[in-house]
Amino acid sequence: MKYYVYVSDSKVDMLFAQIPSRFAERLAIELKIDFKIISASVSSGASNETRFSRLAIVKQYIEKHENVGSIDEPNEYFIGKMQMSWSKFPFTSQMVYFGGIANQTALGLAGSLKHVIGESQPPEKFQWSLSDLGGAYVGLIDALNPDEPSNQVPAEKVTSLVARMTQEIISTGNTQNLEFLARKLKEGYSRHYDKKVLLGSPIYVSLS
């Protein structure tokens, strides 16, 4: 049993639709999931049960067939468990940020607030996709340097902002042991904090 904090329905539905049926059915059997029910629910809207079942299949498929790394050694995707703090972005109400520091890496996960479990009021439509580097960068600029223009994405600026945001959010002391699967957006190094820096777009986050 998992207690989910965040599930990106848009990513789960998009990835689930791309899994070849023969693989998805095989994974459903392994996970004791009724494949016909969750396949039909993609177009008709899903209950939490089918929502989490599709997520389980997507997670298993990614782990078996895609390049998955760790926090300190990420690939296209990375998975991990660590102490993290999380909150809405201070000035960008449409975004949520999960931050933590592993042995070598300052990690930030930036996602849409509407995917937080239990979020009752969907935020207004955001003009950037939060699944890409540009959208995450705009959110970080809005949160930390709201007077700075955000029409470009210099690599050194992204890593610096992620390191700073992660340090600030964990300084609150409100941490939880979280588990997650995310897609890598940016990897770099912060000389100021003397840490590797990793920014990801979460597929799910749960209590560990």
Q: Which residues contact 8 (CB under 8 A, 6 or more apart)?
A: 111, 112, 115, 131, 201, 202, 203, 204
127, pLDDT greater than 70: no
Whole-model pTM: value is 0.82
For 130-141, letters b (16+ CB in 10 Å) and e give: bbebbbbbbbbb
Predicted local distance difference test score (pLDDT) of residue 44: 45
| Mean pLDDT, rounded, for 55-64 | 92
Query: Which pLDDT band holds residue 112 (cuts at 50, 70, 90)?
Result: confident
Are 5 and 205 spatial neighbours (Cβ–Cβ below 8 Å)?
Answer: yes
Question: Which pLDDT score is estimated for 108?
Answer: 93
Q: What pLDDT shows up at residue 63?
A: 94
- What is the percentage of the chain residues whose pLDDT exceeds 70? 73
Q: Which two tokens stand for residue 170?
A: 């964990």
Contact 190, 198 (CB under 8 A): no
pLDDT digits (tens, 9 = 90+) for 75-84: 999 999 999 9
Pick 157 or 28 by higher pLDDT: 28
- In which band, very low, low, confident or very high, does the pLDDT at 33 lie, cut at 50, 70 and 90? confident
Domain boundaries along the sequence of the chain: 3-65, 70-207
